[in-house]
Amino acid sequence: MNDSGEGTAQAARPKRADARRNEAALLDAAAAVFVASGVEAPVRDIAAEAGVGVGTIYRHFPTRADLIVAVYRHQVDACAEAGPALLAAGATPHAALAEWINRFVDFLVTKHGLAAVLQSDNAGFDTLHTYFLDRLVPVCAELLDAAVEAGEVRSDLGALELLRGVGNLCIGAEDPRYDARRLVDVLIAGLRRPPAH
């Protein structure tokens, strides 16, 4: 009752509020630096952008993967959660899949370097991989399975593979001569089963 409650008048832990604010600022700063220099930017740059010492970064996010996950968690979660609704609302499973993938692409395309890191085999990023895959592969699989079941798309492709393909297509999307969205569109179109005869 008087513990960790936030609604009570007691207001036991003012620090907590500060720290939370600080953490939010950190995430903003990290997001900004990630956009500018990619998710592998030096810790010091992020600290500088946030106007804090490097120790503060490490306090809040012991590993870089923790930081990246924290920065993108909300968007990844939102993407994941949108899946079922799209499936329910979509004209066809394939259309739902396409729309869901579009959202994923919208997310990725604005994250300089994230797509690249997502396929890095660097051990330090395991947590990151795990988070993304745990969160997104099941959703993708659900949509993909539905489309396969409906006979709309070829069945020899896994959800992980598809997601990685899409992720890869988003690499380098900063270049105006390269339209990742269009290429993903082509890829998703290519999933379609050729009409029976």
Give Cβ neighbours of residue 140 (< 8 Å, ≥ 6 apart). Answer: 83, 97, 100, 101, 159, 160, 162, 163
116 binds its own copies (CB under 8 A): yes
User: Could you tell which of DNA, its own copies, none binds residue 138, using a CB distance below 5 to 8 A set by kind?
Assistant: none
Q: Which residue has the tokens 């569109």?
A: 185
Phi, psi of 45 (to 5 degrees): -60, -40
197 binds, among its own copies, DNA, none (CB under 5 to 8 A by kind): none
Among 52, 70, 141, 187, binds its own copies (CB under 8 A): 187
Distance CA 129, CA 152 (A): 29
Give the nearest distance from C-beta 135 to DNA in angstroms.
Answer: 24
Q: Does 15 bind DNA (CB under 7 A)?
A: yes
Q: Which of 19, 116, 157, 187 binds DNA (CB under 7 A)?
A: 19
Q: What is the DSSP string of 138-170?
A: HHHHHHHHHHHHTT-B-SS--HHHHHHHHHHHT
Q: 1-30 mask for its own copies (x: CB under 8 A)?
A: ------------------------------
To DNA, the closest distance from the beta carbon of 113 in angstroms equals 12
